[in-house]
Amino acid sequence: MRPERKKWLKSEAFALAVTLALVTAARSSLADHYWVPTGSMEYSLLPGDRVLVDKTAYGVRIPLTKIDLVGAATPHRGDVAVFDSPRDGARLIKRVVAIGGDVVSVTDGRLMINGEELGAETPEDFAGARGRETFERTEAELNLDRGGGPDMPPTVVPPGKLLVLGDHRGDSFDGRFFGFIDE
């Protein structure tokens, strides 16, 4: 092989390696996309949806680590979060419904935080197979066509932890099964 061709291949390989490293770092620290495999978040997210996740929403991390570089903000009630299941490491997407210090309970799919029901203002809001919950910054429409899933007695969320639930309460593998996740 001629030296010019060898040099060109080396520079192209180097450019490709740098590009791949930058893309990997960006996906690890800035943004990534996910495919929604189940209906556990209906009606907010449907099976087959693709979501783009802003990984800087709660701070900026060193690529491929969990070390924060820039101030870590905390999740709010109502945020939708992507995380690894504490049970088996599977990637999950659920709604943050309670934060550290909250007293939370779930009865028939209805959420109560610190003694206040977040759902229906009128009984019609929970009529049929739908429901609605209003958080500080967002509102979620619930799918209750399979009921509300398991109840959860009043429980205090430990500091630094979150409770996450699916919007399709009767068809969601969520914090009622695996417990709290790290903030």
Q: Give me the catalytic one of 29, 40, 44, 172.
A: 40
- What is the separation, in whole angstroms, between the first and last Cα of the chain? 56
Which DSSP symbol is given to 123? Answer: G
Structure tokens at 30: 């800035």
> Among this protein's residues, is 94 annotated catalytic?
yes
Q: Give me the catalytic one of 29, 44, 94, 172.
A: 94
Residue pair 109/91 in contact (Cβ under 8 Å)? The answer is: no
> Among this protein's residues, is 40 annotated catalytic?
yes
Strands (E), the chain: 31-35, 50-54, 60-61, 68-70, 80-84, 91-99, 103-107, 110-113, 116-117, 130-134, 139-143, 152-156, 161-165, 181-182
Residue pair 66/120 in contact (Cβ under 8 Å)? The answer is: no
Catalytic residues: 40, 94
